[in-house]
Amino acid sequence: MMDVFELAGAVAAVVAAYQSHLLQALLNGSATPARYAEELGLDATATERILDVLAQVGVADCEHGSYAASTGLSQLDAQQLGGLDAIGALWSQVPAFLVHGERLALGAALYFVDSVNLNNATLHASMAAQVERTFTRLEELVRRPRQWTLSEAEVMLIGSRLRLLRAWIELREIAKHGDRERLRLLSQEIETLPQDVEVSWNIISLSVAFWLTVVYEGEGASLIPRLQSAKQQMLEAGDSPATIRVMSWLALAYTQTAQLHLAQQQCLEALALVERIGRPTALAGYLYYTLFFIFYAWNRLEEAAEWLQRMLRSAQDWQQVELLAMGEIFAARLALARGNPSRAEEALHHLEALVEQEGFAHHALWVKTLRVQCWLAEGKLAQASEWAAQHMLSLETWNPLRRWELLMLVRVLLAQQKYAQAVETLSRFSQHYDRPGALDAALEWMALSVVALHHAGKPEQAVGVAARLLQLAEPEGYTLLYLDTSEPMMKQALNVLLDALQDDALGAAPGSISRSSVSQWLSAFEQGETEAAHQVLRRSARTAAIQSEPRTAAPQQHMAEPLSPQELKVLHLLVAGHTYAEMAERLIVSVHTIKTQVSSIYRKLGVGRRAEAIAASRHFHLL
């Protein structure tokens, strides 16, 4: 594709004559491109190609260098315009092409950067080289404005837009290295630039603010008013692509404030706008991204899986590295929620390969977090404990990018039964998690706090946190939050809480927590166990034919390999919620023996964690 600056010059040669009655006649269909080119002495082939675009976007748009015009014009290459000689001829005929050309060149550069800034490294490198040539030409104009008769306003406009474009390219490098401080400084600098008269250009400063506030700091609430205002501006300007982009950011910010229904509404409205535009866009993938998260949080996993598949297809079609990586992260989380650790491992391997190839720092953090979550799901506490020991010190200092990693450390502490240490860790970072601007992390922090406080022997505090948690999560239907938090410990904590409320042992419950609310969340665990049972059956069917039998069938009748009497004893204690140490003490064996027997039970039942073992035990009538 040709240098966008050269293209702008060629287009300017045609646009410069826009006041001609002949051009108006041509656009109205009463004159031919050949006659127009002949009268102006222009190359016929190039002129006809350019006029095709002008007819679509309008001469006025091209005159002002609009983004819509630049998008269409930037897709013309030298061959389509009749070769470089024809372009040179056009260029030479309008010495004052800069009246229009610099805006078109900047608009085309904006289009290119927008298209591939988060693509794979090869596509991005190709774009960067071409745009850099454009930058060099335009910076030369700014240095010698008098030679090109540029006004002070035009010089300021070119300088401001060049800085915005460089900032957008720099954003990719910051994302790769996870440099939050560099991003903060860039955001401060960009915010000092004046607002552009074209709303499309204001997307860049908003993009930098979004990455800093939502992606890095998890403080989506603080950006919502600005995003709502920007959405209105884009709608009034009739800029549909920019409107869709802002709506995708707004939806994601809503998820961080636990406003799932508002987030869903934004996504569906934006997808309807995509449909009205009538052409595919990479932005749809980001809407699928948020819709997956919403349905995942609602524990509507089949619908979540459908949105995930759409997201992955869009990411592949547009080679969007960010979406490809997040797709694998979501695939792993979905697999773990469905009780399928092997599928989670497969997604994790794909994610590791992407991170190694493209090197985005915030994705690398997810690799660690998901790896530990897989170990916990598979009962590999030794590996998880080793990770915790290695990262304990590095997590002592608060870093918002590692907020999920820190919560995973607490999960490991709970699995290790180090409840006091878990309470201390959660309390130490409470000022960072317990904030209204980042409720997605706050809700998980609260859920883990309920478990830790309950098992640490602090029931009154556990009730207080549970009351707040239920009040925040219940209206938006955050179901998976409970099912995914150190199960079955959360279930045990809620059962004790329900008993205490029924006996009025805790007095007036803080936050008006009700028995019915707790009962509803406990029923969600039962549904989760049913889903786990379905997953067990689907996997077991691949290796053994399971016949349908009446409920009076003998225990273990359809198991490929029956449990031993000792394993049945261990299973009963496992289902009752006993720890490995408690089981070892009761059965008078070592903890190592219990771990070996639990692994054997999981293998025979075809499961990977305790909740699945409970569900499978019921199916095979082992309890």
Is 41 part of a structural domain of the chain? yes
- pLDDT recorded at residue 520: 67
Instruction: Specify the length of the chain in residues.
Output: 623
For the cut 80, the answer to whether the pLDDT of residue 358 exceeds it is no
Is 245 part of a structural domain of the chain? no
The residue ranking higher by pLDDT, 229 or 35, is: 229
Mean pLDDT for the stretch of residues 382-403:
89
The distance in angstroms from the start CA to the end CA of the chain is 70
The pLDDT-based confidence of 493 (bands split at 50, 70, 90) is low
- Nearest residue to 159 via CA among 193, 187, 132: 193
Is 559 part of a structural domain of the chain? yes
Question: How many alpha carbons fall within 13 Å on the CB side of residue 424?
Answer: 6
Lowest mean pLDDT of 39-53, 237-251, 336-350, name the range.
Answer: 39-53
> Rounded mean pLDDT of the chain?
75
For the cut 50, the answer to whether the pLDDT of residue 65 exceeds it is no
The residue ranking higher by pLDDT, 162 or 94, is: 162
| Same structural domain, 94 and 7 | yes
| Same structural domain, 456 and 510 | yes
Listed residues 513, 542, 571: the one ending a domain: 542
Mean pLDDT for the stretch of residues 394-417:
90
Report d(CA 121, CA 590) in Å as an integer.
53
| Same structural domain, 465 and 529 | yes
The residue ranking higher by pLDDT, 609 or 378, is: 378
- pLDDT recorded at residue 331: 95
- The count of structural domains within the chain is 3
Q: What is the largest CA-CA distance in the chain?
A: 102
| Same structural domain, 476 and 574 | no
What backbone torsions phi and psi does residue 601 show, to the nearest 5 degrees? Answer: -65, -45
- pLDDT recorded at residue 90: 40
| Same structural domain, 593 and 466 | no
- pLDDT recorded at residue 147: 66
For the cut 60, the answer to whether the pLDDT of residue 584 exceeds it is yes
| Same structural domain, 123 and 8 | yes
The pLDDT-based confidence of 305 (bands split at 50, 70, 90) is very high
| Same structural domain, 445 and 564 | no
| Same structural domain, 56 and 148 | yes
| Same structural domain, 477 and 605 | no
Q: By percentage, how much of the chain surpasses pLDDT 90? A: 26
- pLDDT recorded at residue 410: 94
The residue ranking higher by pLDDT, 392 or 285, is: 285
State the burial class of residue 374 (Cβ atoms within 10 Å of its Cβ: 0-12, 13-18, 19+).
buried
Listed residues 481, 513, 542: the one ending a domain: 542
For the cut 70, the answer to whether the pLDDT of residue 499 exceeds it is no
Is 297 part of a structural domain of the chain? no
For the cut 70, the answer to whether the pLDDT of residue 427 exceeds it is yes
- pLDDT recorded at residue 309: 95
Q: By percentage, how much of the chain surpasses pLDDT 70? A: 65
Is 604 part of a structural domain of the chain? yes
Domain extent at residue 468: 428-542
The pLDDT-based confidence of 503 (bands split at 50, 70, 90) is low
For the cut 70, the answer to whether the pLDDT of residue 578 exceeds it is yes
- pLDDT recorded at residue 2: 42
The pLDDT-based confidence of 616 (bands split at 50, 70, 90) is confident
| Same structural domain, 561 and 514 | no
| Same structural domain, 448 and 531 | yes
- pLDDT recorded at residue 423: 96
| Same structural domain, 144 and 39 | yes
The pLDDT-based confidence of 104 (bands split at 50, 70, 90) is low
Q: Is the dihedral of CA 284, 253, 422, 577 positive or negative?
A: negative
Is 321 part of a structural domain of the chain? no
Listed residues 489, 522, 542: the one ending a domain: 542
Is 610 part of a structural domain of the chain? yes
Distances (CA, A) of 591 to 57, 379, 419, 586: 74, 14, 19, 11
